Structure 1
Amino acid sequence: MHNRLRTLLAAFSVLVLSACAGTQRPVAAIAVEARTPVTILISVDGLRPDYLDRGVSPNINALAASGVKASMRPSFPSLTFSNHHSLVTGLRPDRHGIVDNTMVDARRPDVRFTLGDPRQSLDPFWWDEAEPIWVTAEKAGIRTGTMFWPGSEVAIHGTRPQDWLRYDKAVSGTQRINTVLDWMRRPAAIRPRFVTLYFDTVDTAGHELGPDAPETTAAFAEVDRHVGELVAGLKALGQPANIVLVSDHGMGATADERVIRIDRMIAPDVGTIVTEGPLSGVNALPGKDGAVAATLLAPHDHMQCWRKGTLPARFAYGKNPRVPEFLCLAASGWAIQARDREHILKGMHGYDPAEPDMAAVFIAAGPAITSGAALPVFDNVDVYPLLARLVGIAPIAGSDGRAETLSPILKPAD
């Protein structure tokens, strides 16, 4: 930086001396860097498409107006870690291995993967069944940076983004935006060409207070202001960007009285309750398979259960060994609970992805994106081949994502 400053001062001195001497020789123009477009993937966790109609998101709506907007179907289960990993791998959870926010694996019978246990959530063991796009890009010599994204803190296949931060909910939206803009101020050689940016506040408010609460709308308005700061900052830097803004799932309203107590159906000496919420998974203890089946596979009000091998085919779920042996899915608005809780969340996700409240958002805008293309509802794994195309890498073979879904939104190559 000091050498660059000295060079600029020297050039300025030459210009001043030439002007003072009255020379008529033409002065060469100072070269302006022609910046390569960066691809920025933004997740607004828990953002439902109808939130865009609440009149508090002028910046995000402007992005949509300049590019394309669509509703997107999350992968099953409609949970945070599972769907964030599907977006960046192009694989459904059954194939990429992050089958739930809470998991067990027979190879490690004494531990459990949970969001709150960094010893497990940061262990590559859980993540190495798939390769996220930043790993593929880094292998291809393309620098990446992640301003938070589930899994980006982990050395997946031995590789992390060259710029990454450990998730900290206390890092404000302004700090997150400023970090990305600081990356864009770097010299081209060390400037990321693919960036992720993650906002959690809309999801947090939706859980605690419900999707229709004014606080949830206010949280979305705040995220919209941050997106406006990002767009303005990129413009000031002369940095072109292809922005892809998504959510991982929507949010459904719940209530204290809409609770199913699965722990009162499955005793600890009969089965292990692995997960709870809209989706509950149960593993039978040795010799207790019949007892668990008799209890769970019977008809229930507001809940349906299956053996994992008999789930509806449209869920594309149940073959991964980490999926519990029995799965119970609550009806929309209901929660399956495995313990006493003082406070029932007012909003949840994890329901059938076909439920309207589970719909996710897709918006794309930038120099490579056409404007006004109409898109039907599509599966979120289809975002991955679009990102690969924008970043300039070949997608991993065997992806569940279909390139033809979003290829119509790309401008023809010059």
Structure 2
Amino acid sequence: MKFPFRLLCCAVVMLGAGCATQPHASQQNAASASAAAATQAPAPLLLISIDAYRADYYDRGLSPTLEMLAKTGVHADSMQPSFPSLTFPNHYTIVTGLRPDHNGIVNNTMFDAQLGKFSLGNRKAVADGRWWDEGTPIWVTADEHGLRTATMFWPGSGADIHGHYPDYWKPFDDHITADQRVDQVLAWLDLPQGQRPTFLTLYFDAVDHAGHKYGPHSPQVNEAIRHVDAALARLVQGLQQRHLFERMNIIVLADHGMASVPLANNVMMDKLIPLDHVRPVSFGIVAGFNPKPGYDFAAIERQLEQPQKHMRCWDKTRIPARFDYGHNARVPQLVCLADVGWRITTTDYAASHKGHISVGEHGYDNTDPRMQALFIAHGPAFRDGIRFHAFPNVDVYPLMTHLLDIPAAANDGSYQAVEGMLKPGMR
């Protein structure tokens, strides 16, 4: 079923050979070896994340490079994030095909009885593969099947997961500019054939930062959209100069969207329960609490599971099934979800962070239109200029393993749900 990829590569090799002069015997042997390698190598795949690029940002007309990719490729109406619609859980979902409850990255901030605390700023925890080993990211499987991989930032890529790192990777550094990130990807593609990666990732965070600081409808978000699109134009130009643009598959997506949150829209948790009677795990859009010995946690749950203004709370065993969330041991015993446009915080935090509170947020109900994410794909495997239906982000993983001609690990996605975006001969 996967042989058309090999035939395509072989055709390219044969076309080039037909234009060449007759080689010497040694050159013929080298060419034969190169052709044999080409018949086994899938087209390179580049996975690009524009963090928090909400699906409808595309309609603002500020992304000419994305528009070009969409007009000559596939543009989905939207891609639905997994719950919670947060950065680390969804980036790991995309590369494992497992929802956060199954991949173990259940929040940006977590507690594990054996491992302790995890947060985005905790570099030691982020680099500890034990946090990530409930899933198998695609770069691990690719490595196991002889493909080289490279990640220009991706959650989990700086950890030893099941004994593997990407062949090339960079520790996250938000001081590295968008253009520098692009140039690093191009430099990896300039490596000799035996060292060159077949699967690569590229990550941009400017749109997310602007959305948090200024809100999704701000001029600053529009400027960030333009900035990232310019970096994508630099990438496309670099690929064209290397004669790679039409030979590699490119997927551009986002992890989630963004919603406006007025500064005054706070649910003050300390005014509802005595916080010293619980063990808080996280605040924000998804707040979590574990029992604290010596206190009646069941009574606190009964109180918060009653209808609340601007949020809903559940014991983890009673979280609605549609969220696919609550079975993992890292999910706190009590989970509270803010209504869209609200945040869950405390009086002390709100007072001490005046001027530093995000007016744009995500993490909300993953079905909300403001949480929906971008998806565009372009390359030799994808159909030309089609609009595709919305789909959940777990389906990206089996699509990518198909493109790389490697077996998929157990996952929650469906290749059949997205194979329609591929050309018939590539399915």
Give the TM-score taking structure 1 as reference length. 0.90
Q: Which runs of 5+ in 2 are unaligned?
A: 1-19
1:198 aligns with 2:212: no
Residue in 1 aligned with 2:14?
none
Residue in 2 aligned with 1:46?
52
Any idea what the Cα deviations from partners look like across 1:330-351, whole Å, max 9, x if unmatched? 1110000132321321100000
Equivalent residue runs for 1:136-175 within 5 Å: 136-175=141-180
Residue in 1 aligned with 2:6?
none
Distance in 2 of aligned mates of 1:383 and 1:166: 24
1:412 aligns with 2:424: yes
Match for 2:408 among 373, 391, 395? 395
1:329 aligns with 2:337: yes
Any idea what the Cα deviations from partners look like across 1:112-166, whole Å, max 9, x if unmatched? 1001011111111111111000000001110000011011011111100100000
Residue in 2 aligned with 1:7?
none
Distance in 1 of aligned mates of 2:384 and 2:131: 39
- Report how far residue 256 of structure 1 moved: 1.0
**Does the aligned pair in 1 maintain the 2:143–2:149 contact within 8 Å?**
yes
Q: What percentage of aligned pairs have identical amino acids?
A: 45
Q: Which runs of 5+ in 1 are unaligned?
A: 1-25
1:176 aligns with 2:181: yes
Aligned residue identity for 1:78: S
Distance in 1 of aligned mates of 2:135 and 2:62: 37
Distance in 1 of aligned mates of 2:227 and 2:22: 45
Distance in 2 of aligned mates of 1:263 and 1:64: 48
1:225 aligns with 2:230: yes
Match for 2:132 among 127, 131, 135? 127
Greater shift after overlay, 115-124 or 334-343? 334-343
Residue in 1 aligned with 2:9?
none
Equivalent residue runs for 1:79-90 within 5 Å: 79-90=86-97
CA 1:264/1:272 → structure 2, altered by over 3 Å: closer, same or farther? farther
Residue 61 of structure 1 aligns to a residue whose secondary structure is: helix
Larger Rg: 1
Aligned residue identity for 1:248: D
Residue 52 of structure 1 aligns to a residue whose secondary structure is: helix
**Does the aligned pair in 1 maintain the 2:108–2:118 contact within 8 Å?**
yes
**Does the aligned pair in 2 maintain the 1:270–1:291 contact within 8 Å?**
no
Residue 413 of structure 1 aligns to a residue whose secondary structure is: helix
- Report how far residue 238 of structure 1 moved: 1.1
**Does the aligned pair in 2 maintain the 1:373–1:408 contact within 8 Å?**
no
Residue in 2 aligned with 1:104?
111
**Does the aligned pair in 2 maintain the 1:74–1:83 contact within 8 Å?**
yes
**Does the aligned pair in 2 maintain the 1:72–1:377 contact within 8 Å?**
yes
1:307 aligns with 2:315: yes
Distance in 2 of aligned mates of 1:409 and 1:262: 45
**Does the aligned pair in 2 maintain the 1:181–1:230 contact within 8 Å?**
yes
Equivalent residue runs for 1:338-349 within 5 Å: 338=346, 339-340=349-350, 341-342=353-354, 343-349=356-362
Distance in 2 of aligned mates of 1:327 and 1:153: 29
Residue 195 of structure 1 aligns to a residue whose secondary structure is: strand
- Report how far residue 247 of structure 1 moved: 0.1
- Report how far residue 392 of structure 1 moved: 1.5
- Report how far residue 298 of structure 1 moved: 2.0
Match for 2:123 among 118, 142, 152? 118
Distance in 1 of aligned mates of 2:418 and 2:104: 25
Residue in 2 aligned with 1:185?
190
Residue in 2 aligned with 1:298?
306
Residue 47 of structure 2 aligns to a residue whose secondary structure is: strand
Residue in 2 aligned with 1:9?
none
Aligned residue identity for 2:96: T
Residue in 2 aligned with 1:316?
324
Greater shift after overlay, 260-269 or 212-221? 260-269
Distance in 1 of aligned mates of 2:291 and 2:269: 13
- Report how far residue 360 of structure 1 moved: 0.6
CA RMSD of aligned residues (A): 1.8
Residue in 1 aligned with 2:15?
none
Distance in 2 of aligned mates of 1:211 and 1:283: 33
Distance in 2 of aligned mates of 1:378 and 1:60: 19
Distance in 2 of aligned mates of 1:373 and 1:56: 20
- Report how far residue 276 of structure 1 moved: 1.0
Give the TM-score taking structure 2 as reference length. 0.87
Residue 198 of structure 1 aligns to a residue whose secondary structure is: strand
**Does the aligned pair in 1 maintain the 2:43–2:404 contact within 8 Å?**
no
Residue 69 of structure 1 aligns to a residue whose secondary structure is: strand
**Does the aligned pair in 2 maintain the 1:210–1:254 contact within 8 Å?**
yes
Greater shift after overlay, 28-37 or 286-295? 28-37
- Report how far residue 374 of structure 1 moved: 3.7
Residue 174 of structure 1 aligns to a residue whose secondary structure is: helix
- Report how far residue 410 of structure 1 moved: 1.3
Residue 125 of structure 1 aligns to a residue whose secondary structure is: helix
Distance in 2 of aligned mates of 1:352 and 1:298: 19
Aligned residue identity for 1:300: Q
Distance in 1 of aligned mates of 2:108 and 2:326: 15
Residue 190 of structure 1 aligns to a residue whose secondary structure is: coil
Residue 274 of structure 1 aligns to a residue whose secondary structure is: strand
Residue in 2 aligned with 1:253?
260
**Does the aligned pair in 2 maintain the 1:263–1:273 contact within 8 Å?**
no
Distance in 1 of aligned mates of 2:312 and 2:176: 40
Equivalent residue runs for 1:204-223 within 5 Å: 204-223=209-228
Distance in 1 of aligned mates of 2:338 and 2:368: 12
Distance in 2 of aligned mates of 1:107 and 1:268: 24
**Does the aligned pair in 1 maintain the 2:71–2:386 contact within 8 Å?**
no
- Report how far residue 28 of structure 1 moved: 5.2
- Report how far residue 27 of structure 1 moved: 6.0
Residue in 2 aligned with 1:234?
239
1:281 aligns with 2:283: no
Distance in 2 of aligned mates of 1:374 and 1:49: 13
Residue 330 of structure 2 aligns to a residue whose secondary structure is: coil
**Does the aligned pair in 2 maintain the 1:67–1:364 contact within 8 Å?**
yes
